[in-house]
Amino acid sequence: MLNIDRRLFKNFDWATFSIIVFLSIMGIMTIYSATRPLLPNEQANYHIKQIYWLIVGIAALFIVVNFDYVWLNRFAYPLYVIGMLLLLAVLFAGKTGMGAQRWLNIGPFSFQPSEIFRPIFTIALARYLTTIHNRMNLATMIKTFLMFAVIPLILLIKQPDLSTAIILLIMFLTLCIAKGLQKRVIALLILLGIISIPFLGNILWEGLKDYQKNRLVAFMKPDADPAGIGYHINQSKVAIGSGEFMGKGYMKGTQGPFRFLPEKHTDFIFAVFAEEWGFLGSFLLMLVYLAFILRGIDTALKAKDEFGKLLAAGITFMFSAYFFINTGMTLGIMPVVGIPLPFMSYGGTALLSNFIAAGLLINIRTRRFELFY
């Protein structure tokens, strides 16, 4: 048993672990700076809660790393069913907040099932794709979409949680490509996408909530209503721009602490960070995220089996999508869709889910060789 522990410790991916812990600590520091009390009677304990969740997340990560990820093959589909039941439970017993019904309460504990469903979806889809032995044709792709993606997408849009639905759709497409799509299928999908944009755009527009429509209008015309629907994006740009090259310094920013920037500790935490650390700090932070993404790609390439390859690829695609969409919307080059910055944005369920997903990455890399024999 001692020999097994030594092998696991020796091959453990300390680089990935160090990166995500560093990002989480920077996130806690930024959360505190953005939400710290400015008046004697004010109280803000967001950073304390995030510290607790960080400890829970690290514990969950080591639990995930401790067992061989290959065992997930046996439990992939039961996990998927449990995840679907949680999403379904939200529609009947979910807690409503900020115009969306996304949370479940179990006593004093509140969590967001869609965050837990992300890694479950990746595990189940990767498991199924390993049963396909040839390149995927259009019929196989449609069958896979109907089996694994269409129902959760409907349930997420119903909440509404459009951001997670978009991420799941991106993950589905990228995993199919990683598995191997026929070139003519890829060409057909691109062609259909281009042709259907006007029609799908009208259909989606009619199905959007008013606040979702306002976000799109604010993205297309940020100056149309700068004090109303364009306020988020404009204040985010102000925060990022005021940081200039070197930044104002930690805890010396104004947009977050003085409450000018909405959602400062969640969706727009990057803007608070950029104001305090400037272009240089933001550039270095992006390099850290890039190193994490490249590490994930390398893990997928070096996985010992196809299931590990697809699982690592799906998780890496997920983190990449979250990072690029979040930073894009804070910079004003993408519409605001409520996607948090991985490991840095406030949110206990999201942080725990991210650490579990990162634990799977570390698990796959740690066992790229046969450790136990």
pLDDT in tens, 35-63: 887 666 666 788 999 999 999 999 999 99
Helix extents (H) in 107-149: 113-129, 138-148
On the 0-12 / 13-18 / 19+ scale of CB atoms within 10 A, 195 is exposed
Look up residue 298 and give its two tokens: 């390398």
Average pLDDT taken over every residue of the chain: 84
- Is 9 a residue whose pLDDT tops 90? no
Instruction: Choose among 160, 155, 153: nearest CA to 207.
Output: 160
Asked which of 120-129, 169-178, 182-191 is least confident by mean pLDDT, the reply is 182-191
- Is 136 a residue whose pLDDT tops 60? yes
- Residue 181 pairs with which residues in a beta bridge? 136
Q: What is the CA radius of gyration of the chain?
A: 21
pLDDT in tens, 224-268: 555 555 677 888 888 888 888 999 999 888 877 677 787 888 889
Distance CA 297, CA 312 (A): 7
Q: What is the pTM of this model?
A: 0.87
- Locate the domains of the chain by residue range: 2-36+45-366
Sorting pLDDT into bands at 50, 70 and 90, what band is 75? very high
pLDDT in tens, 88-113: 988 887 776 655 667 787 766 778 88
Specify the pLDDT at position 81. Answer: 94
From residue 211, give the alpha-carbon distance in Å to each of 99, 208, 265, 336.
Answer: 9, 8, 20, 10
Specify the pLDDT at position 222. Answer: 64
Asked which of 88-97, 188-197, 349-358 is least confident by mean pLDDT, the reply is 188-197
Specify the pLDDT at position 282. Answer: 95
Specify the pLDDT at position 372. Answer: 43
Distance CA 81, CA 73 (A): 14
Specify the pLDDT at position 212. Answer: 60
Look up residue 276 and give its two tokens: 């305090």
Q: Residue 259: helix, strand or coil by DSSP?
A: coil
Sorting pLDDT into bands at 50, 70 and 90, what band is 273? very high
pLDDT in tens, 116-131: 899 999 999 999 999 9
Q: Are 175 and 167 in contact (CB under 8 A)?
A: no
